[in-house]
Structure 1
Amino acid sequence: MKIFLLGATPSFSAQVGEDPISKLAKTGGNTGNQLIARGLLDRIVYDGLSWDHSIDPRAVHERFDMIVVAAANFLFPTFDFGGMAQYIERADLPVAVVGLGAQSNNYDPNINLMPGTERFVKVVAERAVSIGVRGPHTQEVLALRGVHNVTVTGCPSYYMGGPHGMNFPQRPFEEVRRLSINASRDVVAHSFDKERMLRLVREIYGTGLSWNADFVAQSEQAEISLADKQARNSEEALKEIATFLANVAPEADVRKWAADHVRVFFDVDDWLDTVQNYDFVFGSRFHGCMAALQRGVPALVICHDTRTEDMCRFLGMPFVSIVDLDKIDVAQLYSRVGLGSLARRYQGLYPAYTRFLSANKLIVKN
């Protein structure tokens, strides 16, 4: 099976000293995308793989057996996937789509999409046995468009552990010492409650300062520039973060914490290896928390929109909605982590996921 990969990719080539924002662009603007692709590819067998999008679609048709789309929150009003739709049409191969998600600040399935994205939905629906989506809400969004060959799978990153799943030796909160946090300042506009989300994000950062916790950035450009110690605009990044946290902590404290504790990972293995050093991970980043769970570290997602909440609920992930959260209290967040229920949910979902892959003509890895 020779696979041509579209959407998220598991890795990329970087030049020595390459600007971190340039590297971020190669991930699709979010380092979490690499976990999506890695999770998908870890569970299937192939003897040929490429994500070189400079290859002409006609050559893809001749050299590959299938197009696999490692999808993310593609169904968002301002995203245009017309180019991908055209590429798929020209390549004229069977398609498998895994992890397609709708993103909104409410559960109305009547989302206005760009014409190119509407075309993408039509093109993949015609070529896929069944489209794997992140949660029931995305299934409803597609049903409203007359697309019913859909299976709710969640995100491929969830299944990285294979049949063995995830194991969690959760310790008492009194033994929790090392925290890792994550949050995004650029998702406030499409959250369930903008004012509450902004306040909670600032509190998450504030918790980072009070606990000397590491902040793992995924798409936040100032933080990513700062995390890359060779970046030339670190002073600008420090000013931006200090301004955002002006009412949270003194500027000197913010600068010291940010310089010492903000991190970014452009390599999945590096990320997974490092996350094992923490006792608890929380924040609004689904994949930041997923990386922890994959390595047996308790984690909790603070859900701010349909994209994360719908998926967390389906997968049995530990989560709390911002609507139900008044403040960031680490002990209370830790008490919400029900790892036993997650393990049980995984044991039910994993066999269904492998059946979905097989139905889409993908070979499941033993």
Structure 2
Amino acid sequence: MTVAILLISTEAQSDYAGIGDTAGLNASDVLKLSGVNVGNFAFKYGMRKLIGEDVIYTTYRTDPDYVRRNARALIVAEANLVNPGIDYGAPAKFIETVDLPTFCLGIGAQAGTMGDKITIPAGTLDYLHAVSKRSAGFGVRGAYTKSIIDELGVSGAQVLGCPSFFINPSRTLWQDVARKIGAEDFSSIALMEGIYPTGHPHAEKVSELERRLFDLVRFRNSDYITQAHPTIMAFAMGDGHMVEDSTLFHLRKRLAPGMRIPEFRELLAARSRVHVRIDHWIRDVRRYQAVIGTRIHGTIMALQAERPAAMISHDSRTSELCETLQIPVTSLDQAMEVPSVGKFDRLFEKIAKNTAAQRDDHRIELGRKIRNLMNEMEIPASPAFNALCDGAPSTAV
């Protein structure tokens, strides 16, 4: 039998791993194909790795009749759709029209801090009801999202985290990562770009933190891995020469006010990176000893590569998912207290060896809960995911 997996796009040879052909594409094209953030590919890829059945790929724009004729179920990986600024009315109509059993993971709420009350558009509520009606249950990022959905009168929400967290099938992932803390001097740290749009709930503080973190690029030769910034992405794709000085002036003011424009341009050309496929991302990040920044899926990709990742949480979305997945976090206030660029290494110490085995057990248990839901919906698990779920609990580092 065959199931249909929802992707962001099927253009440019896109598949579950990301964009298959970037020849002739620029940063704007990549952002369009990725849903304005290449981190979106992470949970799509993670979902595909869970499924042990033949698949076809579809989008919310695919002909519903085609999906019904060629698949017995719909597989959906989502993110922060419980969001005042997003109306999922059109996707809701797609789910309703396809009218197949729908297995969904990763739904999250977007707010400034956990506990904030939010109001969502009617179309998004329709979407949640459409998924609930066609499933034995659906996965949400954490308890905060579940509480919001429960209050909306939608049944079936289960706290299951994000499918991207289960890409690496190792049953000792956290222990493998923890062994690298203290054993290396972290001479090679990558920084995840964290430049967010105007309107971020903690915009001023996040902007100041990013300027301080960018000193890792300036003074410690860190690569700057972007997920969503068009200018950084242009440099990463070799198109930095097309970026106007006027654009760089504003970016330099934000990241490195003491640099001259030519020096700033040269630095971005040398250090900017972007990953448009998840398999390449995980492989490439292994060149670093550690990764730091405010991007949740950049953090998860580093962990899947068995590299220490220092996650700095900045909103409800990141805090909630880190809580569910037991990813150690540093708050914005704590990060701002780091006295110098040479001291950011201390943040990696939160991945303590004496808690690594417990984190591995928790990850296996979350995986088993996902597989239980898959079994209820008669969605077979992949051999790799079964191997993770069937692992014996860990007892030592």
TM bin, normalised by shorter chain, reads over 0.9
Instruction: State the partner residue of 2:47.
Output: 40
Alignment equivalent of 2:305, drawn from 288, 295, 304: 295
Instruction: State the partner residue of 2:131.
Output: 124
Q: Residues of 2 paired with 1:332 and 1:234: CA distance?
A: 36
Instruction: State the partner residue of 1:358.
Output: 375
Instruction: State the partner residue of 2:209.
Output: 200
The CA deviation at 1:231 is: 6.0
2:115 aligned with 1:108, yes or no? yes
The CA deviation at 1:26 is: 0.7
Alpha-carbon spacing, 1:246–1:52, altered in 2? closer, same or farther (3 Å) = closer
How big is each residue's C-alpha offset from its partner over 1:128-156, in whole Å with a ceiling of 9 and x where there is no partner? Answer: 21110011111011011012311111110
Alignment equivalent of 1:337, drawn from 335, 342, 351: 351
* Residues 81-160 of structure 1: pairs in structure 2 closer than 5 A: 81-108=88-115, 110-160=117-167
How big is each residue's C-alpha offset from its partner over 1:42-84, in whole Å with a ceiling of 9 and x where there is no partner? Answer: 1211213212555311221121111111101111111111111
How big is each residue's C-alpha offset from its partner over 1:10-49, in whole Å with a ceiling of 9 and x where there is no partner? Answer: 3234452112211221111111111111111112112132
How big is each residue's C-alpha offset from its partner over 1:303-362, in whole Å with a ceiling of 9 and x where there is no partner? Answer: 100101011011111211214432344122122223615334323322222223222331
The CA deviation at 1:163 is: 5.6
* Residues 321-336 of structure 1: pairs in structure 2 closer than 5 A: 321-328=331-338, 329-336=343-350
The CA deviation at 1:253 is: 4.0
The CA deviation at 1:363 is: 0.7
Moved more, 293-302 or 53-62: 53-62
Instruction: State the partner residue of 1:305.
Output: 315
Helix, strand or coil: the match of 1:111?
A: coil
Alpha-carbon spacing, 1:309–1:336, altered in 2? closer, same or farther (3 Å) = same
How big is each residue's C-alpha offset from its partner over 1:97-124, in whole Å with a ceiling of 9 and x where there is no partner? Answer: 1000101102235311122112111211
Alpha-carbon spacing, 1:344–1:164, altered in 2? closer, same or farther (3 Å) = closer
Which AA in structure 2 matches 1:342?
R
Which AA in structure 1 matches 2:222?
A
Helix, strand or coil: the match of 1:300?
A: strand
Instruction: State the partner residue of 1:243.
Output: 253
The CA deviation at 1:222 is: 1.1
Q: Residues of 2 paired with 1:88 and 1:299: CA distance?
A: 36
Moved more, 254-263 or 289-298: 254-263
Instruction: State the partner residue of 1:222.
Output: 231
- Given that 2:7 and 2:59 are in contact with CA atoms closer than 8 Å, whether structure 1 keeps it comes out as no
Alignment equivalent of 2:273, drawn from 255, 263, 266: 263
Alpha-carbon spacing, 1:84–1:52, altered in 2? closer, same or farther (3 Å) = closer
Alpha-carbon spacing, 1:316–1:218, altered in 2? closer, same or farther (3 Å) = same
Gapped regions of structure 1 (runs ≥ 5): none
- Identical residues among aligned pairs (%): 25
Helix, strand or coil: the match of 2:205?
A: helix
Q: Residues of 2 paired with 1:68 and 1:336: CA distance?
A: 35
Instruction: State the partner residue of 1:80.
Output: 87
- Given that 1:110 and 1:144 are in contact with CA atoms closer than 8 Å, whether structure 2 keeps it comes out as no
Helix, strand or coil: the match of 1:50?
A: strand
How big is each residue's C-alpha offset from its partner over 1:203-235, in whole Å with a ceiling of 9 and x where there is no partner? Answer: 112222121100110011111111110466334
Which AA in structure 2 matches 1:331?
D
The CA deviation at 1:187 is: 4.8
Alpha-carbon spacing, 1:163–1:99, altered in 2? closer, same or farther (3 Å) = same
- Given that 1:284 and 1:301 are in contact with CA atoms closer than 8 Å, whether structure 2 keeps it comes out as yes
Moved more, 61-70 or 245-254: 245-254
Alignment equivalent of 1:348, drawn from 362, 365, 382: 365
Gapped regions of structure 2 (runs ≥ 5): 9-15, 384-397
Instruction: State the partner residue of 1:3.
Output: 3
Which AA in structure 2 matches 1:112?
T
Q: How many matched pairs?
A: 365
Which AA in structure 2 matches 1:3?
V
Helix, strand or coil: the match of 1:45?
A: coil
The CA deviation at 1:249 is: 4.4
Moved more, 82-91 or 350-359: 350-359
2:191 aligned with 1:181, yes or no? yes
Q: Residues of 2 paired with 1:361 and 1:324: CA distance?
A: 45
- Given that 1:109 and 1:137 are in contact with CA atoms closer than 8 Å, whether structure 2 keeps it comes out as no
Which AA in structure 2 matches 1:229?
G
Which AA in structure 1 matches 2:227?
Q
